[in-house]
């Protein structure tokens, strides 16, 4: 036991580190929390570890019942500091009054982690949740200088019928899916063990050509290794006359299929391969029982002409869906001197 608090004779909360024996119990808790997602899963912690982050898995228990907690990532490869990050967490019952006391208890242990490494003092901790309103007990925190995940996204309700999903799309979206089908664009699902190389053949040149803040080969090698070992995602390819024109990496967690990375070719654009690709991903995700298709990032607001994501946001919005605007990242600063000079603004990045 790390720390505890007794609220009454019924609720006696204590902190414990979570090990592999509680993996399923933890992941099930995360899957059922609307403010959280795959970034608080055990398998994503494995990805973070391979990328050079140290992870701490802390659970909040009422006696033996797991109530919440967080997987905290620590990066100490900077020259003179470390940072802490909780993506899509902490995992707490934010609609219930007890969430505030749980948060305070968890933060008391996070403060201890922040103070632990004297050679790499912690500049700050950043937390980023899928919440629509900022909880009052975030008063210790300030709005971050940058959002590490997209501030806005687009969600397609897969609980609708296939006809209703098509109907809620914009006419141009439905039309382009049909054009793709008429041109004979072939959609394939490929497991991580076999799809990695072909995905990068299109993705890396696409990122360079488009000027996006993409990931490099090393990142994908590590991510793909975990996906191959533990599952949780797969590649989709759209091909025309034997040539791959569009690709997507889709992550599955809880009731949501998430479009995490993708790319398209400049060749044969008239066959509308990206539309056929995502039309099929949506159909497959629905058939597989997922409730939502998360496009993972669009430009915020209605007027997107000045936003760097304008181009692909216009594409995504042709598929319909509901725009969701999250609260963004919030930071608690432990060391102001280390935080301000070395924390540049970025559009977003995925840990």
- Please indicate whether residue 117 or residue 172 has the higher confidence score (pLDDT): 172
pLDDT tens string 321-349 = 999 999 999 999 999 988 865 544 444 44
> Per-residue pLDDT averaged across 165-187, rounded?
98
Give the pLDDT band (50/70/90) at residue 1. low
pLDDT band at 248 (very low <50, low <70, confident <90, very high): very high
- Structure confidence at residue 247 (pLDDT): 98
pLDDT for 305 beyond 50: yes
Give the pLDDT confidence score for residue 232 in this predicted structure: 92
* Residue-level pLDDT at 309: 74
pLDDT band at 3 (very low <50, low <70, confident <90, very high): low
pLDDT number for residue 274: 98
pLDDT on residue 311: 76
Q: Which residues contact 160 (CB under 8 A, 6 or more apart)?
A: 168
At 71 the pLDDT is 99
Q: What pLDDT score was predicted for residue 271? A: 98
Reply yes or no on whether the pLDDT at 6 is more than 70.
no
Q: How confident is the model at residue 214 (pLDDT cuts 50, 70, 90)?
A: confident
Q: What is the pLDDT of residue 194?
A: 93
Q: What is the rounded average pLDDT of the residues 258-276? A: 97
Minimum mean pLDDT range among 30-44, 64-78, 294-308: 294-308
Domains of the chain: 4-149+327-339 (3.40.630.30), 152-325 (3.40.630.30)
Mean pLDDT computed over 292-311: 78
Q: What is the pLDDT of residue 347?
A: 42
Place of tokens 């050679």: 119
Q: How many CB atoms lie within 10 A of CB 63?
A: 10
Please give the model's pTM, rounded to 2 decimal places: 0.92
- Residues 120, 259: Cα–Cα separation, whole Å: 35
Residue 303 banded pLDDT, cuts 50, 70, 90: low
- What pLDDT is recorded for position 312? 83
3-class DSSP string for the chain? CCCEEECCCCCEEEEEECCHHHHHHHHHHHHCCCCCCHHHCHHHHHHHHHCCCEEEEEEEEECCEEEEEEEEEEECCCCCCEEEEEECECECCCCCCHHHHHHHHHHHHHHHHHHHCCCCCEEEEEEECCCCCCCHHHCCCEECCCCCCCCEEEEEECCCCHHHHHHHCCHHHHHHHHHHHHCCCEEEEECHHHHHHHHHHHHHHHHHHHCCCCCCHHHHHHHHHHHHHHCCEEEEEEEECCEEEEEEEEEEECCEEEEEEEEECCCCHHHCHHHHHHHHHHHHHHHCCCCEEECCCECCCCCCCCCCCHHHHHHHHCCCCEEEECCCEEEEECCHHHHCCCCCCCCCCCC
Lookup: tokens for 299: 């430009």
Residue 213, pLDDT score: 78
Q: What's the mean pLDDT when you consider all of the chain?
A: 91
Of the candidates 133, 126, 56, 74, which has an alpha carbon nearest to the alpha carbon of residue 99?
133
Residue 211 in this model has a pLDDT that exceeds 90: no
What is the reported pLDDT for 26?
Answer: 98
Average pLDDT over residues 252-269: 97
> Among 126-140, 159-173, 289-303, where is mean pLDDT lowest?
289-303
Asked if pLDDT for residue 9 goes beyond 60, the answer is no
């Amino acid at each position: 036991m790390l720390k505890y608090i007794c609220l009454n004779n019924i609720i006696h909360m204590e902190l414990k580190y979570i090990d592999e024996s509680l993996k399923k119990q933890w992941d099930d808790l995360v899957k059922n929390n609307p403010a959280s997602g795959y970034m608080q899963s055990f398998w994503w912690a494995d990805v973070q570890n391979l990328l050079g982050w140290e992870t701490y898995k802390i659970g909040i228990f009422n006696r033996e019942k797991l109530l919440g907690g967080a997987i905290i990532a620590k990066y100490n490869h900077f020259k003179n500091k470390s940072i802490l990050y909780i993506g899509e967490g902490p995992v707490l019952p934010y609609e219930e009054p007890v969430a505030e006391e749980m948060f305070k208890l968890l933060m008391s242990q996070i403060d201890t982690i922040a103070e632990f490494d004297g050679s790499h003092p912690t500049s700050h901790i950043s937390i980023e949740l899928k919440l629509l309103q900022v909880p009052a007990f975030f008063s210790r925190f300030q709005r971050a200088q940058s959002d590490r995940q997209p501030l806005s996204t687009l969600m397609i309700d897969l609980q609708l019928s296939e006809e209703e999903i098509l109907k809620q799309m914009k006419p141009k979206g439905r039309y382009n899916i049909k054009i793709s089908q008429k041109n004979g664009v072939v959609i394939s699902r490929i497991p991580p063990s076999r799809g990695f190389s072909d995905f990068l053949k299109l993705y890396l040149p696409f990122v360079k050509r488009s000027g996006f803040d993409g990931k490099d080969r090393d990142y994908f090698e590590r991510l793909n290794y975990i996906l191959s070992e533990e599952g949780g995602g797969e590649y989709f390819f759209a091909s025309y006359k034997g040539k791959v024109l569009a690709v997507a990496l889709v992550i599955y967690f809880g009731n949501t299929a998430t479009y995490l990375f993708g790319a398209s070719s400049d060749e044969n654009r008239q066959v509308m391969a990206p539309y056929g690709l995502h039309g099929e991903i949506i159909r497959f995700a629905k058939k597989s029982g997922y409730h939502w298709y998360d496009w993972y990032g669009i430009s915020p607001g209605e007027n997107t002409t000045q936003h760097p994501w304008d181009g692909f946001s216009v594409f995504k919005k042709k598929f319909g869906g509901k725009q969701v605007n999250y609260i963004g990242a919030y930071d608690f600063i432990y060391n102001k001197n280390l935080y301000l000079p070395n924390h540049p603004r970025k559009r977003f990045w995925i840990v």
